[in-house]
Chains A and B, each alone.
Chain A
Amino acid sequence: MTVPLGAAPVGMAGRIRAVRVEGNEHGLSADELERRLIELGFVEGARVQILHEGLFGRDPIAVRVNEATVALRRREAASILVEPERG
């Protein structure tokens, strides 16, 4: 079972199962956004955890990706499908 990273609450941790960008509301082509996410470390198998979120609309979010921390908006994070860890 996977959940989109963009919809997950603070504290959720898991492994990325897929990075799949759909739609074109990001200001970038789907392909370009996918490549940028990969370059920042959002790649299949990477361990992620949501550390912080903003005040308005709980956006943006700060995500731990392996050994780095990356800030992004939930809209873009929705393209990252995560399998939550148990416990």
Chain B
Amino acid sequence: MSELTLPARVALVGNPNSGKTALFNALTGSRQKVANYPGVTVERKEGPAVTPAGLTVRLIDLPGTYSLRARSLDEVVTRDIVLGRLEGEEVPRLLVCVADSTNLRVALRLALELRRVGRPMILALNMFDIARHRGFDIDLGRLSAELGIPVVSSVAVRRGGTRDLLARIDEAIDEQGVQLASTAAAASWSEPNAAQLRATQREADRILDAAVKAPGRPDGFTRRLDHVLLHPLLGRLILLAILFLMFQAVFTWAQAPMDLIKSGFDGLAAWAAVVLPSGWVLSFVRDGVISGVGSVIVFLPQILTLFFFILLLEDFGYMARAAFLMDRIMGGAGLHGRAFIPLLSSFACAIPGIMATRVISSRRGRLATILVAPLMTCSARIPVYTLVIAAFIPARTVFGWLSLQGLVMFGLYTAGIASALGMSWVFNRFLWRREPGEPFMLELPDYKRPVLRNIALGLVQRGQIFLKRAGTTIFAMMVVIWFLCSVPPAPPDAAEPAINYSLAARIGQAIEPVLRPVGFNWQIDVALVPGMAAREVAVAALGTVYSIAGADENPGELGRVLTAHWSLGTALALLAWYVFAPQCASTLSVVRRETNSWKWTAFLFSYMLALAYLAAFVTYQAAAALGAG
């Protein structure tokens, strides 16, 4: 098939915060496809757009960049596509350089750099309405004459705001005929040095002085709001309040849909029991597929709630401010200011947290964040914590008003946060001591009214990525865990629950001598195997091992059995274990994917396991020494 028969490829390039993605959303709507570039975890967004002449073009949204000098994985993709160097990626017929009309100096330097590559290009002055409102008087004709390329204005967030741009795309594609795969300029491109960058900036400044007849005013709203939101003290209190609200939302709003999903999967399991003959097929479908995938999908409402806030705050322009406020605190632990949001997300579930580390441009900063994100107390630990706390910690108050149970819960959360910061410090100190971290430099964009459509599109994409993962890698893990828990089947005259005859029980019994010093009996060891599916599954597994039907719906009953079988030392050791243990196959599979490395995944698993063992050992031995063993 020749390239002529395919719709022309048009690439959007621009600075971060130029409204490029909003423009892409406006042009393609919900028809966009999100995937990854092969071999790297950089998002590849493509979608069709229809021009006024009825021509369909394939738009691709390239990662935002300040220059073609690629500094992060994202920017490498942008550079290589623009230069036509990326294997398996078609060279764009046309570049659309998207510029923030209120911040043209930086944008025009990029445009000049792009122009040198020698590909057909259009400059789109985006957010033109805001610029006009703030008093900028920009002579499009003059700008176009100076640059030697078409210049159009665009307003991504208004209906009809992309009409001029689409019309120009029509003309540009019409004029050029077949585009060469590689221009001489693109082939001989080399990184500009500081002197060349300065010269390009001077040229951009000269053009702007000629084409911008009146400079605009700074955005008064942003100025006033920043005085409050970036205030050293008040700003932090507001950030804390926003976080508190997010937490509330994640744990309360998401509850109803989570219950609904759970009962949906329970209903599905019951239906499977009716239509399928009992035996291993039913066991596989019900206990492996339905309950395994269900135990992960149940987190979808929490993940969507969390991403709703993240996308909303990002669209508004607050996220960069949060990174500004948190930079010093995170920096002390060797983390990037931008690591703050991924770590926060990990309170719901480490999976979206690890996915959110893509915003960190430095590879090392991103890796450090991925390695400590699973230490944050995710919501799957809560069922385990509440079960053990309710059974073993007396419901009384200390200091007259503090609930002892609440205090223990708070202590477990604090242990998670402290260990995440501590481990990051350790990694930076010992793993990477030869390379100091990248400096924190971040543009703080003007605040903008969030566009619901952009947030909705973002949410749908996040949800799809999560569900796809639950349906592939996570599903495969679940099948393995089911296999361990149900093969070989129990003999017909079995007196004990079926899991006690399975491979999982054998693993549990085999590791029992290793875990005896931390106070675990073999029943706990067996429950740890299915607990790899998701931490909370361990609760149901404990119920199965102690032959209590429906233990996850009736934790009181299980709690009574546990108090009869476990010492206080064992219970506390299990809590300490769960603060650190890498007890989640889904997280490991996501870490593998995002780091693209088995080595780092194995490292994560090993260090967390070592910490868990150490913490449980110290807890149990201390409790035993005090007479609670």
* B337, B436, B443: residue with the most chain A Cβ atoms closer than 10 Å: B443
Q: Determine the distance from Cα of A66 to Cα of B191 in the docked complex, in whole angstroms.
A: 25
Q: Determine the distance from Cα of A62 to Cα of B233 in the docked complex, in whole angstroms.
A: 15
Q: Is the CB of B106 within 8 A of A41?
A: yes
CB contacts (< 8 Å) of A41 on chain B: these are 105-106
With A66-B105, A68-B106 as given contacts, are A36 and B232 in contact (CB-CB < 8 Å)? no
CB contacts (< 8 Å) of A11 on chain B: these are none
CB contacts (< 8 Å) of B324 on chain A: these are 52, 54, 60, 62, 71
Q: Is the CB of B194 within 8 A of A55?
A: no
Q: Is the CB of B218 within 8 A of A72?
A: no
CB contacts (< 8 Å) of B320 on chain A: these are 71
Partner of B232, one of A35, A37, A38, A55: A55
Is the C-beta of B442 less than 8 angstroms from some C-beta in chain A? yes
* Interface size of B as a range: 35 or more
CB contacts (< 8 Å) of A31 on chain B: these are 193-194
Stretch in B51-59, B63-71, B298-306, B419-427 with 4+ CB within 8 Å of A: B63-71
Is the C-beta of B197 less than 8 angstroms from some C-beta in chain A? yes
Q: Determine the distance from Cα of A31 to Cα of B329 in the docked complex, in whole angstroms.
A: 28
CB contacts (< 8 Å) of B440 on chain A: these are 60, 71-73
Q: Determine the distance from Cα of A43 to Cα of B66 in the docked complex, in whole angstroms.
A: 14
CB contacts (< 8 Å) of A46 on chain B: these are 105
Using an 8 Å CB-CB cutoff, how does the interface string of B230-256 with A read, 1 for contact, 0 for none? 111100100000000000000000000
With A31-B194, A73-B439 as given contacts, are A67 and B232 in contact (CB-CB < 8 Å)? no
With A39-B66, A60-B324 as given contacts, are A27 and B436 in contact (CB-CB < 8 Å)? yes
Tell me the A1-55 residues at the B interface (CB within 8 Å).
25-28, 31, 33-41, 43-46, 51-55
CB contacts (< 8 Å) of B438 on chain A: these are 27-28
Closest-CB distance, B329 to chain A (whole angstroms): 8
Is the C-beta of A57 less than 8 angstroms from some C-beta in chain B? yes
* Interface size of A as a range: 35 or more
Closest-CB distance, B435 to chain A (whole angstroms): 7
Is the C-beta of B184 less than 8 angstroms from some C-beta in chain A? no
With A27-B436, A39-B109, A40-B66 as given contacts, are A70 and B444 in contact (CB-CB < 8 Å)? yes
Is the C-beta of B325 less than 8 angstroms from some C-beta in chain A? yes
With A27-B438, A52-B230 as given contacts, are A35 and B444 in contact (CB-CB < 8 Å)? no
A54's nearest neighbour on chain B, judged by CB, is B328
Is the C-beta of B205 less than 8 angstroms from some C-beta in chain A? yes
* A25, A45, A64, A72: residue with the most chain B Cβ atoms closer than 10 Å: A72
Is the C-beta of B383 less than 8 angstroms from some C-beta in chain A? no
Q: Is the CB of A26 within 8 A of B439?
A: yes
CB contacts (< 8 Å) of B329 on chain A: these are 56
Partner of B327, one of A28, A43, A54, A69: A54
Q: Determine the distance from Cα of A60 to Cα of B329 in the docked complex, in whole angstroms.
A: 11
CB contacts (< 8 Å) of B69 on chain A: these are 35, 39
Closest-CB distance, B240 to chain A (whole angstroms): 13
Q: Is the CB of A68 within 8 A of B201?
A: no
Q: Determine the distance from Cα of A67 to Cα of B216 in the docked complex, in whole angstroms.
A: 9
CB contacts (< 8 Å) of B236 on chain A: these are 55
Given contact pairs A34-B194, A36-B441, A52-B231, a sample of 16 additional A-B residue pairs in the complex whose CB atoms are under 8 Å apart: A25-B436, A39-B66, A39-B67, A39-B109, A43-B201, A52-B324, A54-B327, A55-B233, A55-B328, A56-B328, A56-B329, A57-B328, A60-B440, A67-B102, A69-B222, A75-B439
Jot down 8 A-B pairs with beta carbons below 8 A, ordered by A.
A26-B439, A35-B67, A38-B194, A55-B233, A67-B218, A68-B106, A70-B443, A71-B444
Top 10 A-B residue pairs of the complex, sorted by shortest distance between their CB atoms: A27-B436, A55-B232, A39-B66, A52-B230, A69-B444, A56-B328, A72-B441, A67-B103, A71-B324, A38-B197
